[in-house]
Amino acid sequence: ALSTMMATKPATEEAMSVQKIVNDNLPSEEDTLAERDGSMRVKMEQMLREAQISITKAIEEIDGGAKFREDAWERNTGGGGKSRVLANGKVWEKAGVNLSVVHGTMPQEALKAATERGATRSNNGEEVPFFACGLSCVMHPHNPHCPTMHFNYRYFETEGGEHWWFGGGTDITPSYIDEDDMKHFHGTYKEVCDRHDPEYYNKFKKWADEYFLIQHRGERRGMGGIFFDDLNDRDPEEIFEFCKDAANHVVPAYGPIIEKHKNDAYTEEQKQWQQLRRGRYVEFNLVYDRGTIFGLKTNGRTESILMSLPETASWLYDHQPEAGTPEAEFLDAARNPREWV
Amino acid sequence: ALSTMMATKPATEEAMSVQKIVNDNLPSEEDTLAERDGSMRVKMEQMLREAQISITKAIEEIDGGAKFREDAWERNTGGGGKSRVLANGKVWEKAGVNLSVVHGTMPQEALKAATERGATRSNNGEEVPFFACGLSCVMHPHNPHCPTMHFNYRYFETEGGEHWWFGGGTDITPSYIDEDDMKHFHGTYKEVCDRHDPEYYNKFKKWADEYFLIQHRGERRGMGGIFFDDLNDRDPEEIFEFCKDAANHVVPAYGPIIEKHKNDAYTEEQKQWQQLRRGRYVEFNLVYDRGTIFGLKTNGRTESILMSLPETASWLYDHQPEAGTPEAEFLDAARNPREWV
């Protein structure tokens, strides 16, 4: 959800036309705002918009019922985006994919807060002009045997390119563990990672296990995936290619799992367990997710930020699954992250 | 939920027996830990425990179905409590009343963070020995015409009594506005307030309207009530009497509203609207409620802190009630607090 964070950076420049920022169709050389400032802005925005379109198309096909609805939105402090939301589908209860393309100026503290490591980027305390774009997504299926999936890929740079970085990741949140599914999901991302750097997968898998921890529960919201932030240790073109590869493997990593389980039978008890896990998802997003909290507290577009919340969630007092059940197995894996591949 | 906050202050003293802190029956002069340290500790703990017992008894009678289950718990860093939870009743989906009696030491920053005004209480940077007790409660009924109710009354003091204060309040969160109900609820608390200080009601009603704001929505979670914190501007005995009066009027303020509506017919749409309002309740508690956030981030007992969350909640993308509907009327009152009495 860090792209929602970027969509909401405080900015003092004049309002911009959202039509100039995010185009009705694919961005072209002529009408992309970003073009005037450098090719990575153009490339990243275009890649993310293409990914938004292709992923939502693939998801609609798997769903076979509902269609995504698109809302263009703008912030009059500089920026805008396009939210695509599918509600009450055959497979998905709620699925949202949000593109943000934002520019403006931000305070030094916001620049500092924007990265995991809080790197200080000195500029004599002045407001920092920046550009940011990101694509974030959460999809919550009805069937408790179908996992929730989240991804986010984003690019940030300050005016003149003094500071820049990429961030992102894709992670999966089942209610029940199907080991083959987890091997497939993690395996797909391991292959993606390995094509770009043999150290990426181990590093980013561990980072996801750390990031998605619900600290007050001592458990992760799900079974992880990859997560990275503040990535700027090599040629930006190389990192861009990695992000593109990762974004383009959302559907191959997630789609087959949904196809496999979308018609699985389930019990009321399994649905209730899914609802409790959705409650945990809400706890993570509202208490710990940096992008969500930052977005909400800095006047981001609430509906786009909270698209990530499930349509339904539940909390029961002191619920403890019985030892030896699939629910207890899930909890064990949420408390002690496993190596899947 | 600030009593949950107090229940979770970082403390470095040795673990205490929870049986010494919170007794199985009403605290007596003999076996109350607090007695050795001063009469206000004893009085407040005893008053809160009596209120917990009498309120849960009255609620069980109104419910006519489920009973409260009591869990005693302790923190090995100093303190403990008793949680009473009613689940799946005839009237209430989930109701929790949590008593915390805690002592230990806390860092200066925690002392500062413990009050709304963040008053600095200098002590040369050393750990501050403290005592705190509080009773907090949230009750979520099934019927969308029956409001959710929350209250919290608490007392805090540092060792030797250098610093002390009371905090608390009772507030109501309907899904639909029944003006007579709101007049009754606010009127009951205005009468309570007026018995102690003619300025209390206006001041504390406004404070509730400010505190229970979901900032990113620009709306309150409900229709308010009274809220106060850091109250220490007069003889503690006087403030104690006010807290006691307020705690003892939870049932008279809330009970008749539930009796009036507990058998009201409702539609699926009304239930869905209630679920959306429950989602807002979750947003407030997890994003803004000081006690909840502080408790979760300082290793409080998660299940007692999150007792406040509803059993079920819902989020729909960009839901807007139609103008002129009761749902729109509710939102208007949540955005523009009214004077009910």
- Which residues are paired to A234 by β-bridges? none
C-alpha–C-alpha distance, residues B133 and B157, integer Å: 9
- Which residue intervals of chain B are DSSP H helices? 2-6, 18-21, 39-63, 108-113, 179-194, 200-211, 236-247, 250-261, 268-283, 290-297, 302-305, 326-335
Question: Is there a contact between A293 and A306 (Cβ–Cβ < 8 Å)?
Answer: no
Question: What pLDDT, on the 0 to 100 scale, is given for residue B86?
Answer: 97
Would the pLDDT of B7 be above 80? no
Q: Which residue of A has its CA nearest to B289?
A: A287
Q: How many helices (H) and strands (E) does chain B have?
A: 12, 10
Q: Can you say how many angstroms the Cα of residue B206 is from the centroid of all Cα atoms in its chain?
A: 17
Report residue A29's pLDDT band, with 50, 70 and 90 as the boundaries.
very low
Question: Is there a contact between A7 and A100 (Cβ–Cβ < 8 Å)?
Answer: yes
Question: What pLDDT, on the 0 to 100 scale, is given for residue A160?
Answer: 75
CA distance B98 to chain A (A): 12
Question: Is the model more confident about B37 or about B303?
Answer: B303
Question: Mean pLDDT over all residues of chain A?
Answer: 86
Q: Left (φ > 0), alpha (ψ -120 to 50) or beta: where does A160 sit? A: left
Residues 253-282, chain B: which have Cβ within 8 Å of A?
275, 279, 282
Q: Work out the burial of residue B58: count CB atoms within 10 Å of its CB; fewer than 13 is exposed, 13-18 middle, 19 or more buried.
A: middle
CB-based contact A287 B296, cutoff 8 Å: yes
Question: What pLDDT, on the 0 to 100 scale, is given for residue B75?
Answer: 74
Query: Cβ contacts of residue B93 below 8 Å, gap of 6+?
Result: B87, B140, B141, B142, B310, B311, B312
Mean pLDDT of B263-272: 98
> What amino acid is encoded at B85 in this protein?
V
C-alpha–C-alpha distance, residues A305 and A290, integer Å: 11
- Which residue intervals of chain A are DSSP H helices? 2-6, 18-21, 39-63, 108-113, 179-194, 200-211, 236-247, 250-261, 268-283, 290-297, 302-305, 326-335
Mean pLDDT of B146-172: 93
A46 token code pair: 């275009």
Question: Is there a contact between A6 and A114 (Cβ–Cβ < 8 Å)?
Answer: yes
Question: Is the model more confident about A77 or about B155?
Answer: B155
| Least confident among A178-187, A273-282, B65-74 | B65-74
Mean pLDDT of B41-60: 97
Would the pLDDT of A184 be above 80? yes
Question: What pLDDT, on the 0 to 100 scale, is given for residue B115?
Answer: 61
C-alpha–C-alpha distance, residues B339 and B341, integer Å: 6
Supply the Cα-derived Rg of chain B in whole angstroms.
19
Phi, psi dihedral angles at A318 (to 5 degrees): 50, 45
CA distance A38 to chain B (A): 34
A312 neighbourhood in chain B, CB within 8 Å: 275, 312-314
Question: What pLDDT, on the 0 to 100 scale, is given for residue A116?
Answer: 57
Question: Is the model more confident about B67 or about A122?
Answer: B67
C-alpha–C-alpha distance, residues B323 and B341, integer Å: 26
C-alpha–C-alpha distance, residues A339 and A97, integer Å: 28
Phi, psi dihedral angles at A286 (to 5 degrees): -85, -25
Question: What pLDDT, on the 0 to 100 scale, is given for residue B74?
Answer: 85
A87 neighbourhood in chain B, CB within 8 Å: 316-317
**CB atoms near residue B209 (< 10 Å):** 18
Question: What pLDDT, on the 0 to 100 scale, is given for residue A123?
Answer: 52
Question: Mean pLDDT over all residues of chain B?
Answer: 86
CB-based contact A303 B309, cutoff 8 Å: no
- Which residues are paired to A136 by β-bridges? A98, A152
Q: In a 3-state reduction of DSSP, which class is residue B140?
A: strand
Q: Which of B249, B277, B334 is nearest to B140 (CA)?
A: B277
- Which residues are paired to A231 by β-bridges? A166
Q: Which of B96, B309, B315 faces A310 most closely, judged by CB atoms? A: B315
Question: Is the model more confident about A96 or about A14?
Answer: A96
Q: Is position B150 annotated as part of the catalytic site?
A: yes
Mean pLDDT of A175-190: 98
Question: Is there a contact between A172 and A223 (Cβ–Cβ < 8 Å)?
Answer: yes
Question: What pLDDT, on the 0 to 100 scale, is given for residue A277?
Answer: 98
Location of structure tokens 């979670």: B221
Question: Is there a contact between B7 and B295 (Cβ–Cβ < 8 Å)?
Answer: yes
- High-pLDDT (> 90) share of chain B, %: 72
C-alpha–C-alpha distance, residues A271 and A276, integer Å: 9
Among B150, B163, B186, B261, the active-site one is B150
Question: What pLDDT, on the 0 to 100 scale, is given for residue B50?
Answer: 97
Q: In a 3-state reduction of DSSP, which class is residue B208?
A: helix
Question: What pLDDT, on the 0 to 100 scale, is given for residue B22?
Answer: 40
- Which residues are paired to A82 by β-bridges? A72, A99
**ipTM for this prediction:** 0.86
Question: What pLDDT, on the 0 to 100 scale, is given for residue B6?
Answer: 41
pTM: 0.87
> What amino acid is encoded at A116 in this protein?
E
